[in-house]
Chain A
């Protein structure tokens, strides 16, 4: 983490903490992220990009992105975090640093609707072939409503309410008193 302290001022790192001896997290402005990752990769020994992921916070109107990088020599992993606006949902691509970044970015585009302009194939379907709805990993995605709209009821589907079914089987002649008003 000494290295991190050196970087703190230059990249205006706002938050840093060690979760384990071999795992730390830092938070940086989105505008400084690519430059920081480049230095981590080329100067600080964090040569491997393990994954990129996102968390949706509709409450604050933001996405939190996490880039997990790894230093094989020190066996240390570092999660570099940044917070972007949910409305614009736009982030600089890092595929020029790690080729595999394009795959993660393509996945984030599909699942969260976060765009990474210039990332090769970012608009290609990742796993949701023919998907037409809103990005499904956004927390305001209404699974039920989407299902009802997209997967029309197949013929032959029929359900019974347990209480009505039990009434029809066990006490069909009983009706509760509803006064006429």
Chain B
């Protein structure tokens, strides 16, 4: 035996003070790997309750439930996912599909309890120890179950478009529409934002399934003017779209337009059918704008005899006389109105209530009356010089263009305002060859006009001067009009409030232009209502007072559209007309107002 062999057993003792490489049992801590799929966490503030996690879960482990302190709003269902760990298989598809990236998984996986019921909880809302865990599974980059990018819309070349009134937005092809439709997660958050609560996910699904007949039926359930809304709707739905949280919202408006453009008008009639019972009741509708037409359409389909009184020569109201033809081609509007009159609706043109016929007469000769006369007159700028010959209003200008009148604008035009009428007037003025500038009091992001309209106007060469407050209008040399305006600074009004423009003293300019167009809002002359003797209806300024169901203080008289609601767009008027039709139906059949 060698000496080395004798010492060897003792030499290992020199390692006695070192940290062992082996793990000791029993294990006291078992940390999950950094990207381990452990218990879920959910950022309650970021989550919008779209339910995509529930929809994708292959085990039915997720319920969408109410959570104390989370309000239901137009962009948040108020529901949050509750996970049943008796079913969860930790696959993390729910994290991968999450439209807001609020849902994730911690790397915690050890939790022992004798009560099985505790293994079902609302992730992120019940104060679990792992709620703020930085570790665990997050959706990895490089792939996405959601498609954040909208299928691009083909637009007419602005240089060519500005020389005529051809339609600028070309619409989706069938392939493009189906591709865009596939981006929808079918959550239905958008429905609440639509005044007509159109079943958006259902008609998008019908596009995916290529079932346009079904799609048409869904559209007409609450909206008899889909070709109009498919073009010019203010599309609040898109602001609520869950896909819009991380990407472009689904192009809901263009998808609606695709449906109605892809079917022949005769197919619409075939899809909807035309057989309905005759109630023998008569209803007068005042005004053939979207509100009146909508009310008339549904009343007719409920079996009532409807007569619409329209002061102009054609129907459509502001859609025809306020929206330029490059946005809403007249033939498409004509098709839409033709479908409504096909239901048995009679439109009497050139009759002005209050002039040719009184409201009292209508109330006496019909079973019910629906008032939807809109806001046809321009609001006053309340500035000196507003009555100068070179000054006209946006609504008047657009109406005269729609009537085909010859208008001389001159070489330079100033438009005052920031809404859709201002943009419509400016883009129309460009089509008359005028150099056009919009003057708006606030910043561009504050403009009430549709962002796509603002974008397209700029492409067409419309200049926008923001934070500019008009001070007065004056006569200038060579027959021009001087628009005196001052620069504004934005004054913060506190959180959640729109900053207010305040004139900067001493910084004023004068723009000398051939024509000034004012487009700062609209109003109505309701003297025809005020003057009625028997058919009394409550009014407040330029508004008729009516409730959610269109009921006025007079049981026989209903009202809706811009003359009632504070939204003032086509879809709100259409929704008003629809709800009023239901109320009128209930009233004429029972003699009682809807309760």
Contact = CB atoms under 8 A, between A and B. Distances in A.
Contacts of A176: 197, 199, 221-222
Interface in A125-180: 143-144, 147-148, 151, 154, 156-163, 165-167, 169-171, 173-179
Contacts of B79: 160, 162, 165
Given A176-B197, A179-B301, A166 B72 contact: yes
B379 to A, nearest CB: 30
A110 to B, nearest CB: 15
Contacts of A178: 221
A166 B73 CA distance: 8
A160 B187 CA distance: 12
B58 interface: yes
B53 to A, nearest CB: 11
A162 B50 contact: yes
Given A171-B192, A174-B579, A177-B578, A165 B221 contact: no
Interface in B540-566: 548-549
B97 to A, nearest CB: 14
Given A162-B50, A166-B192, A156 B117 contact: yes
A41 to B, nearest CB: 30
A160, A161, A167, A173 — most chain B CB neighbours (10 Å):
A160
Given A166-B189, A178-B221, A160 B86 contact: no
B349 to A, nearest CB: 27
A157 B192 contact: no
A167 B66 contact: no
B189 A162 contact: yes
Given A147-B59, A159-B63, A176-B197, A165 B84 contact: no
B63 A158 contact: yes
B37 to A, nearest CB: 16
B120 interface: yes
A159 B54 contact: yes
Given A159-B65, A167-B197, A179 B120 contact: no
Contacts, number: 97
B192 A151 contact: no
A170 B190 CA distance: 12
B354 interface: no
A170 B74 contact: yes
A169 to B, nearest CB: 4
Interface size class of B (residues with CB under 8 A): 35 or more
Given A171-B197, A174-B197, A163 B86 contact: no
A161 B63 CA distance: 9
Interface string B48-70: 01110010001111111110000
B126 to A, nearest CB: 15
Given A151-B87, A156-B117, A157-B84, A162 B60 contact: no
Given A144-B60, A147-B59, A170-B74, A162 B188 contact: yes
A143 B188 contact: no
B325 to A, nearest CB: 31
B58 A162 contact: no
A173 B60 CA distance: 31
B372 interface: no
B214 to A, nearest CB: 14
A176 B219 CA distance: 11
A165 B80 CA distance: 12
Contact of A179 (B49, B74, B276): B276
Contacts of B222: 176-177
Contacts of A175: 582
A156, A169, A179 — most chain B CB neighbours (10 Å):
A179
Interface string A44-67: 000000000000000000000000
A157 to B, nearest CB: 6
A130 to B, nearest CB: 14
A177 to B, nearest CB: 5
Nearest to A143: B58
A163 B276 contact: no
B230 interface: no
A73 B78 CA distance: 62
A151 B86 contact: yes
Given A154-B84, A169-B78, A179-B301, A147 B60 contact: yes
Interface of A: 143-144, 147-148, 151, 154, 156-163, 165-167, 169-171, 173-179, 181
The 7 closest A-B pairs by CB, nearest first: A163-B188, A162-B77, A159-B63, A143-B58, A169-B72, A147-B59, A166-B192
Given A144-B60, A156-B120, A160-B65, 4 more contacts: A157-B120, A162-B64, A162-B77, A177-B221
17 contacts: A144-B59, A154-B86, A158-B65, A162-B77, A162-B187, A163-B187, A163-B189, A165-B64, A165-B72, A166-B188, A166-B192, A167-B197, A169-B78, A175-B582, A176-B199, A176-B222, A181-B273
